[in-house]
Amino acid sequence: MIDSPVKVGVIGCGAQGKNHLNVIKELGTETAIVSAFCDLSLERLQNAREMWPQAFATSDFKEMLAPAKLDLVIVATMPNTHMQMALAALEAGADVLCEKPFMRNLDEATAVLDCADRLGRQVQLGTNMRYMAISRYLRDLVASGGVGEPVLSKVWGCHINPPWWGPHYYLSSSAGGVLASTLIHALDLAIWVAGSPNPVSVTASMRRLFPGKRGPIATPEVRERFNVEDLLTAFVRFDDGSTCMLEGNWCDDSPPPHHFEMVTTRGKLKSDPFTVTVDESGKVVNKTPELQESSGWGESIRNQDADVIQRLRDGSPWEMQDRRQLLNLQRLIDGCYESARSEREVVF
């Protein structure tokens, strides 16, 4: 339990880090304060200073962890730095909220979670779509048995244009392309809504269509360095007998950007547009409720950070994810890439 405001450190003040800096400001300084932040860019550091002028600012994350004990460290950098930063934060006595993708591979993910277990600390992945009102409703509906058991999920993740805003387009920094950067959100959500079954096998295929598609709108640097997949499809089997079909791309303009639909033994669910249908006496009946709470992207990040911080204040454990779920997601991502490279099914 923490009686005083939760002291937060933010590593990485780019697009995602800025979201967290803004959200914590909205929560109020009686709830949480940003005590320190870190970024290699002087411009981003200055922008963060304008929001949190009293916070300690540095370009060295190790220096950020040293001055005062932080309660929570948010890692909002590229995946190639996640492990070393998460480990350092845990060793410094902080709990860790890490942006996705979690780590570059299963070995790194296991090392971080082993460290957290050894130190009695907590780690959560920033799969904020779980905090949307629609997501929570669908998760509870499936758990209640109201639509029967999950049978087949179809998961979609795209960007009309590839993510030029950061180094997501070269492997040494990003650990992957459309799967690791974009599709992971809807994939995690679909598995969570289904009750988090364990993946048992995956068959995947990936392509890089750039610069044949989208090349003319890219900068010279992007055209020179782009070396990740911009199209991925996969078929996953789970231990409860259900299956999942994945499609992610940065080379199509079909909305929505993050979406899944789920066929169940008694109905069908869609995340966008939000739809619930149930089979009643052989007829398809629309059972879609009207939800009062907004389910926007910004609200989901706010809900996520507010939940994590409030649980620190209350002394209650983080419950949105557990070790098994985190490792299963990492294992599945690794398996997709391994299957696509080897052109073989991967069995876990």
Average pLDDT score over the chain: 94
Q: In the prediction, which pLDDT does 146 show?
A: 94
> Averaged over 109-131, what is the pLDDT?
98
Residue 85 has pLDDT above 70, yes or no: yes
Same domain as 197, residue 88: no
Same domain as 171, residue 84: no
Cis check for the bond before 256: say yes or no (omega within 30 of 0): yes
Same domain as 88, residue 207: no
241 in a structural domain: yes
323 in a structural domain: no
Instruction: Decide: 150 and 242 in contact? Cβ < 8 Å.
Output: yes
Same domain as 118, residue 137: no
Same domain as 294, residue 245: yes
319 in a structural domain: no
Q: Which residues contact 253 (CB under 8 A, 6 or more apart)?
A: 160
Same domain as 222, residue 166: yes
- E runs forming strands in 164-250: 199-207, 231-238, 243-249
315 in a structural domain: no
307 in a structural domain: no
Which of 125, 143, 161 is the endpoint of a domain? 125
Q: In the prediction, which pLDDT does 162 show?
A: 64
Residue 68 has pLDDT above 90, yes or no: no
Percent of the chain past pLDDT 70, that is, above it, reads 96
> Averaged over 21-42, what is the pLDDT?
97
Same domain as 259, residue 160: yes
Task: List pLDDT tens digits, range 229-264.
Answer: 999 999 999 999 999 999 999 887 666 778 999 999
Reported confidence tier of residue 164, pLDDT bands at 50, 70, 90: low
Instruction: Find the DSSP H helices in 52-180.
Output: 61-65, 82-91, 106-119, 133-144, 171-174, 178
Same domain as 111, residue 187: no
In angstroms, the first-to-last Cα distance of the chain is: 39
Q: In the prediction, which pLDDT does 115 show?
A: 99
How much is the pTM?
0.95
CA–CA distance from 169 to each of 99, 156, 235, 280, 333 (Å)?
Answer: 17, 19, 24, 47, 17
Q: In the prediction, which pLDDT does 168 show?
A: 83
Same domain as 189, residue 291: yes
> Averaged over 186-210, what is the pLDDT?
97
Which of 65, 96, 125 is the endpoint of a domain? 125
Residue 159 has pLDDT above 80, yes or no: no
Task: List pLDDT tens digits, range 205-237.
Answer: 999 998 888 788 888 888 888 899 999 999 999
Same domain as 262, residue 177: yes
> Averaged over 156-172, what is the pLDDT?
77
116 in a structural domain: yes
Which of 72, 90, 125 is the endpoint of a domain? 125
Residue 276 has pLDDT above 70, yes or no: yes
Same domain as 241, residue 149: yes
Q: List the CATH number of the domain containing 263.
A: 3.30.360.10
322 in a structural domain: no
CA atoms within 13 A on the CB side of 31: 13
Q: In the prediction, which pLDDT does 161 show?
A: 65
244 in a structural domain: yes
Same domain as 107, residue 182: no
Q: In the prediction, which pLDDT does 194 show?
A: 98
Q: What is the residue range of 254's domain?
A: 129-299+328-347
Question: What is the tally of structural domains in the chain?
Answer: 2
Residues 123 and 106: their CA atoms lie apart, in Å, by 15
Residue 121 has pLDDT above 70, yes or no: yes
> Of the spans 145-154, 158-167, 294-303, which averages the highest pLDDT?
145-154
